[in-house]
Amino acid sequence: MDERRWHEVLGDRRWLVLTGAGVSTDSGIPDYRGPDSPPRTPMTYQEFIRTPEARQRYWARAHVGWSRMRQAEPNLTHRTLVSMQAAGRLTGLITQNVDGLHERAGHRDVIDLHGRIDRVVCLACHQVTSRAELHDRLSALNPGYEDRIGEFAPDGDVVLADTADFVVAECLRCGGDLKPDVVFFGENVPKDRVERSYALVAEAESLVVLGSSLQVMSGLRFVKAAHKRGIPIVIVNRGTTRGDDLATLKVDAGCAETLRAVGVSTG
């Protein structure tokens, strides 16, 4: 890590930060595209809404995974960004993560680009409710199910071979199908979140990308917008990203170790 180059690029500019799954790996949440990540095939929105069996499979795996996901704690990177915000060194934070760890660490005004896994939305009446509340209902409907063993996956679910005996809960208001309040593959990010994010880029002094491969356009478009403006772009990620050719500086390393190396870490 070239600390001098880092400070040459960013100087005393305030950062707009875009975070991805690589920020949460230190909290025990696996990512999709890290160098050591196995191939994953996430459920698409179209698959989720197509059949009751698909929703049964999703909620069975997600129910077991939520028991682990909700125990994840913010790590050094989350805490460092909170400290930087308190010191007035950030102009905003956009995250592609759905784990809510930035907010749990104390960060304010986070744009949760892809939604939050701790909320549930009804596909019929659109009521948003608590994931913790749904978890209790699913536990009552499926006693002991959350104790099943499987590989923990990036979506916050657990890989299970057979989910045919799982009982799915319906919306308490209208009886409709429930979905986590997150943007699935094949779904569009809500327009207001995109517009708010572009507004931050338009006013940014610099853009620092932490832990994202930028493989999906939902995040890459903001890097492209920053590049068009000509502001410094720093990307910290293990492995290559789709934004490497747009970066002023690319650091192939972990987020926490990099922030510590350049002197902005709180630990």
23 among annotated binding-site residues = yes
221 is in an annotated binding site: no
In sequence order, what DSSP letters do the residues of the chain get, joined into one string? --HHHHHHHHTTPPEEEEE-GGGTGGGT---SSSTTPPP--PPBHHHHHH-HHHHHHHHHHHHHHHHHHTT----HHHHHHHHHHHTT-EEEEEE---S-HHHHHT--S-EETTEEEEEEEETTT--EEEHHHHHHHHHHHSTTGGG----B-TTS-B--S--TTPPPPPPTTT---EEEEE--BTSPPPHHHHHHHHHHHHH-S-EEEES----SHHHHHHHHHHHHHT--EEEE-SS--TTGGG-SEEE-S-HHHHHHHTT----
Ligand-binding site membership of 30 (annotated): yes
Is residue 34 annotated as involved in ligand binding?
Answer: yes
Flag whether 19 is marked binding.
Answer: no
| 12 assigned to a ligand binding site | no
Amino acid identity, position 211 = G
Residue 97 assigned ligand-binding role: yes
User: Is 39 annotated as a binding-site member?
Assistant: yes
Is 190 annotated as ligand-binding? no
Per the annotation, does 213 bind a ligand? yes
Question: 99 among the known binding-site residues?
Answer: yes
Distance CA 193, CA 182 (A): 13
Instruction: Tell me: is residue 21 an annotated ligand-binding position.
Output: yes
Question: Residues 63, 78, 102, 114: which is the catalytic one?
Answer: 114
Does 114 participate in catalysis according to the annotation? Answer: yes
Write out the binding residues for Zn(2+).
122, 125, 171, 174
Write out the binding residues for NAD(+).
20-40, 96-99, 211-213, 237-239, 255
Write out the binding residues.
20-40, 96-99, 122, 125, 171, 174, 211-213, 237-239, 255
Tell me which residues are annotated as active site: 114
